[in-house]
Amino acid sequence: MLQEKPLPQLDLLIERIAARDFTVGVIGLGYVGLPLACAAAGAGFRVVGFDVDPAKPAAIAAGRSYLKHAPAGKLAELVAAGRMTATTDFERLREVEAMIICVPTPLAAHREPDLSFVESTAAAIVPRLRRDHLVVLESTTWPGTTEEVVRPILESGGLRAGLDFFLAFSPEREDPGNSEHPMAQIPKIVGADDEGSLRLADRLYGSIVARTVPVSSTRTAEAVKLTENIFRAVNIALVNELKVVFDAMDINVWEVIEAAKSKPFGYMPFYPGPGLGGHCIPIDPFYLTWKAHEFGITTRFVELAGEINSAMPGRVVEKLARYLDAEQSRGLNGSRVLLIGLAYKKNVDDTRESPALRLIELLEARGAKVDFFDPHVREIPVTREHRALTGRRSVAWDVEAFPHYHAALIATDHDGVDYAALAARSALVIDTRNVCARLGLKAPNVRPA
Residue 98 burial by CB count (10 A; 0-12/13-18/19+): exposed, middle or buried? Answer: buried
CA nearest to 201, candidates 146, 120, 157? 146
CA–CA gap between residue 333 and residue 328 (Å, rounded) = 13
Q: Give the H or E element holding residue 255.
A: helix 253-260
Q: Is 102 a catalytic residue?
A: no
Residue 279: partners with Cβ closer than 8 Å, 6 or more residues away: 31, 104, 106, 140, 352, 353
Whether residue 347 contacts residue 362, with contact meaning beta carbons closer than 8 Å, is answered with no
| Phi and psi, residue 146, nearest 5° | -60, -45
> What is the DSSP annotation of 127-193?
GG--TT-EEEE-S---TTHIIIIIHHHHHTTS--BTTTBEEEE------TT-TTS-GGGS-EEEEES
CA–CA gap between residue 67 and residue 70 (Å, rounded) = 5
CA–CA gap between residue 277 and residue 282 (Å, rounded) = 6
CA–CA gap between residue 144 and residue 302 (Å, rounded) = 19
CA nearest to 145, candidates 116, 174, 186? 116
Residue 43's alpha-carbon distances to 19, 20, 81, 102, 398, in angstroms, are 11, 8, 13, 19, 44
Q: Is 270 left (phi over 0), alpha (psi -120 to 50) or beta?
A: beta
Cross-strand partners of 430? 409, 447
DSSP state of 260: H
Task: Return the ∠ at Cα 319 (arms to 398 and 257), rounded to 5°.
Answer: 90
| Residues annotated as part of the active site | 280
